[in-house]
Amino acid sequence: MKKFREVSKMRRAFDIILLLILLGIVGYMVHERAVLKQKAMISNLCSEARALQEKGKYGESLYHLKRILSIDPKNGNALLSLGWVYMNCDTCGLLAAEEALQSSIPLNRQIYDQATAYHNLGVVYLRLKRFAEAKIALHQALELYRRVDNRDPYYHGAYNDLAEVYEASGDFKTAEQIYKKALQDPMDKETNALLHHLYAEFLYRHKEYDKAVGECQLAIERDPSYAGPFFWDIYARGDPHALLARIYLRRGNFNAAIDESEKSLKINPNKNAGYEPLIAAYLFKKDTASAQQALERLKKFDTEKANALEKIMASADMGVALKQKYQE
């Protein structure tokens, strides 16, 4: 009898242990299912946020990113994206972008993500006119990009932003040296065209028009299909043909300006960079019918720019208004 009771106790103990093991397994499976469900939700929210950012719907994207961070406050990728949205959202602030980007750096293990965060921080500091911090952040970004792939377009984009920091702080000589140094790196034809174009834009801003024409021609030669910068803050600059059109417009060569504008619009039909010099050149030539036709095309996607040109057309002395805007 005593032996039977001992066996019963052992069996109950075994049953309890087995039950605890089963409960642990069930609990683990429930937990894992919840984790997988959470990861799937975060992945979907990230995809939706990116899609909204590409459409310029930053407010809606912001909502999705904040939902991600409410679930996972230490999600480095979400913080990185949040910083990018704050940089480009008019209703947000650069200081909020700075905080989000700084927070993302220690949470992202991928070197490329860290490089992107430092790169974006550099742009934030540039906009805040905190030039010393911008230089540090962009040099750090360049070092990290270099460790991953110095052929990456964003690596060369960081060079451009660094040049713009030196330009904004008044050091034009160093800014020009940065463009020249960047052009010595190995890169694909599109990136090479991009850098020649950005260097041409720099030269144009400093009224070195002959050198700017040469860099535009090099950009076109390197990649005839190059459509202009893809970076968010300089996307509207257009392409080398649009820049050539602006230069020819300034020089009074209106036929050449029209020709380059049309070439630009074949590559970028939905960018205003090609339309503006085209319309202005027609107006200088007093061909208001052609100018009006181009203006109607522009209205389909940029009413603000179209309205500004319409005001020039309606001004009492259109010639003076054109000269002030495009040739002085």
Tokens standing for 204? 């144009």
State the CATH number of the domain containing residue 210: 1.25.40.10
Mean pLDDT along residues 212-217: 96
* Chain mean pLDDT for the chain: 83
Confidence of residue 233 (pLDDT cuts 50, 70, 90): very low
Q: Lowest mean pLDDT: which of 52-66, 102-116, 201-215?
A: 52-66
pLDDT above 60 for 37: no
Residue 185 backbone dihedrals phi, psi, to 5 degrees: -75, 155
Domain membership of residue 4 (yes or no) is: no
Given a cut of 70, is residue 299 above it in pLDDT? yes
Residue 8 has pLDDT above 50, yes or no: yes
For residue 307, the model assigns a pLDDT of: 86
Mean predicted confidence (pLDDT) in 210-237: 80
**How far, in Å, are 27, 250, 293, 308, 322 from residue 312 at the CA level?**
72, 17, 15, 7, 7
Model pTM score: 0.76
Domain range enclosing 204: 200-328
DSSP-assigned states of every residue in 74-122: T-HHHHHHHHHHHHH-TTS-HHHHHHHHHHHGGG---HHHHHHHHHHHH
* 98 within domain boundaries: no
Classify 228 as helix, strand or coil: coil
Interval 84-97 mean pLDDT: 79
Q: What is the pLDDT of residues 135-188, one digit of tens each?
A: 999 999 999 999 987 777 788 889 999 999 999 999 999 999 999 999 988 888
- Domains contained in the chain, number: 1
In this prediction, residues 194-211 reach a mean pLDDT of 94
pLDDT band at 232 (very low <50, low <70, confident <90, very high): very low
Rounded (10°) CA dihedral 153, 158, 163, 166: 180
Confidence check: pLDDT of 231 > 80: no
Nearest to 135 by CA among 151, 123, 117, 153: 123
Residue 316 above 90 pLDDT? no
Rounded Cα distance between 305 and 325, Å, is 13
Taking residues 42-54, report their average pLDDT. Answer: 67
Q: Residue 239 carries which DSSP code?
A: -
Q: Is residue 143 part of a domain?
A: no
pLDDT, residue 235, reads 42
pLDDT score of 44 more than 70: no
What does the alpha-carbon distance between residue 109 and residue 75 come to, in Å, rounded to a whole number?
A: 11
* Spatial CB neighbours of 244, under 8 Å, sequence gap ≥ 6: 213, 216, 256, 260
291 in any annotated domain: yes
List the structure tokens of 303: 């009413």
Q: What is the mean pLDDT of residues 61-82?
A: 82
Establish if 110 belongs to a structural domain.
no
- Identity of the amino acid at 217: Q
Distances (CA, A) of 69 to 18, 39, 63, 92: 39, 12, 10, 17
In this prediction, what percent of the chain has a pLDDT beyond 70? 80
Q: State how far the Cα of 204 lies from the Cα of 227, in Å rounded to an integer.
A: 18
2 is a domain residue: no
At residue 116, does pLDDT exceed 80? yes
Residue 150 domain flag: no
Q: What is the pLDDT of residues 9-20, one digit of tens each?
A: 666 666 677 666
Dump pLDDT digits (tens) for 254-272.
999 999 999 999 988 877 7
Domain-embedded: residue 228: yes
Q: Tell me if 85 sits within 8 A of 53, measured CB to CB.
A: yes
